Amino acid sequence: MQEYSHGRKKSVDWSLSVGLGSQDLILKAVATLVDPGDPVLVESPVNAGVILMFHTLNCVQIEIEMDAHGIKSSSLKSILESWPAKKPKPCVLYSIPKVAQFYRGKWDVFEAAMNRHLSSLAQWDSPEAGMFFWFKLVLNNDSSVKGDSQALISEKAVHEGVLALPGTAFLPNGRKSAYAHALFSLLGEEDVDEVLR
């Protein structure tokens, strides 16, 4: 295929990798760049499958903070400027590109329902792209106390028939988090209000 479609001759040093999907191909690409024990920079929060991928490759995951617009340059700068001189620098930065407007209609419907049902229970920034909302649960009145969405989800939400993913599942270091993750791309508009009640 490479020779026929792209004119690449057999004498040229190249190979072809076939994968089962995007995660498999990302794993194969990253595996060519890192050795076990290598540090990698990972946006945080990140897809839980990415955490597992780097864990499988025995990489040391260094979290780069994000805000509503993506990776915080101040976080990246701070980490790189304070990097120990004798420690190998990371050769991989994992970030999810934002695909704007792809799910715009669905996220507008979902956010309107969040405003109706969760405005006093959660805080969030409107996403600029993507297919999920990342929101912070208001778990207590003292903002200096960090909450744990996992405890709330596993102890109360599941018993009420609510399925949600706690923020800790998306943090490479697995720390407690008051954040939760809601995927809305598979919901029909008619189901959104029922899901968020």
Distances 111 to 26, 57, 75, 182 between C-alpha atoms, Å: 31, 37, 28, 11
Distances 29 to 10, 40, 49 between C-alpha atoms, Å: 22, 14, 15
Per-residue pLDDT reduced to its tens digit, 84-141: 999 999 999 999 877 666 888 888 899 999 999 999 999 998 877 778 888 999 887 6
pTM of the model: 0.76
Q: Angle at the Cα of 82 (from 78 to 85), degrees rounded to 5? A: 150
Half-sphere exposure of 182 (CA within 13 A, CB side): 26
